[in-house]
Amino acid sequence: MIKACIFDLDGVIVDTAKYHFKSWRRMANELGFDFTEKDNEQLKGVSRMDSINLILGWGNKQLSEADKVKWASQKNEWYLEAVNKMTPDEILPGVLVLLQDLRKKGYKIALGSSSKNAELALRKVRIISYFNTIIDGTKTTRSKPDPQVFQMGAQRLRLAPEECIVFEDAVSGVAAALAGGFYAVGMGSPENLGAAHLVLSSFENITIESIIKQIGA
């Protein structure tokens, strides 16, 4: 029986992924190379330091650990400049209605994100009050596809994985949910997220009952 929903942040609740892309790309450009939005898909659900290692690999650049930390910090400053300007208008279609419906029907709601700025984003778009617990990059030690972030969320809610649905837009996030024994709903393209129990293009006109029915929970 489903008792909770665990949401990733970027690309599921809000589109902060575009701010990550712009900030990482600005870093790459200042280091003398570039990468594409398609490349950026590989960074979804990946921690900050793992992301910088991937990007440097694309540009055949080598940096000292100290310089990696410096650039990661600079990238985060650029990203925070954008996040601090966010408004409720940036909540993705259908999300707010679903959160309201879940709360009304007694489902628990958690966030499971690798972002270290998840709470700030939720405050800026004014939906933090809907979440019973928030697990983000400040609380985890392992990145997706490791299921740690979702396992910690379920533990905080005092629920078993099979009582929770995870909503993810990244291949690594779907893999993490499945590895942890959760139901996985991919948000995006079936081509990329076909391993999930269900793939949705958006939350518009979607109810928790229809999701539970389609995943066979």
**34 tagged catalytic:** no
160 has pLDDT over 90 = yes
DSSP 51-82: HHHHHHHHTT----HHHHHHHHHHHHHHHHHH
Active site residue 39: no
Query: Pick the catalytic residue: 10, 50, 67, 169?
Result: 10
pLDDT of residue 41: 83
Neighbours of 140 (CB within 10 A): 20
Q: Which of 8, 67, 101, 146 is catalytic?
A: 8
pLDDT category at 47 given cuts 50, 70, 90 is confident
| Distant-in-sequence, close-in-space partners of 8: CB < 8 Å, separation ≥ 6 | 45, 111, 112, 113, 166, 167, 168, 169, 170, 173
pLDDT single digits (tens) 112-126: 998 888 999 999 999
What is Dmax (Cα atoms) for the chain?
52
Domains of the chain: 4-15+87-215 (3.40.50.1000), 17-83 (1.10.150.240)
Q: Are 142 and 109 in contact (CB under 8 A)?
A: no
Mean pLDDT of 180-198: 96
Query: Where do the H-state alpha helices sit in the chain?
Result: 17-30, 37-40, 48-58, 65-83, 95-104, 118-124, 148-157, 171-179, 190-193, 208-215
pLDDT at 16: 85
The position carrying tokens 């596809």 is 145
Asked whether residue 159 carries a pLDDT value surpassing 80, the answer given is: yes
Global confidence as pTM: 0.86
Strand 183-187's sheet: what is its strand order? 133-135, 108-112, 4-7, 164-168, 183-187, 198-200
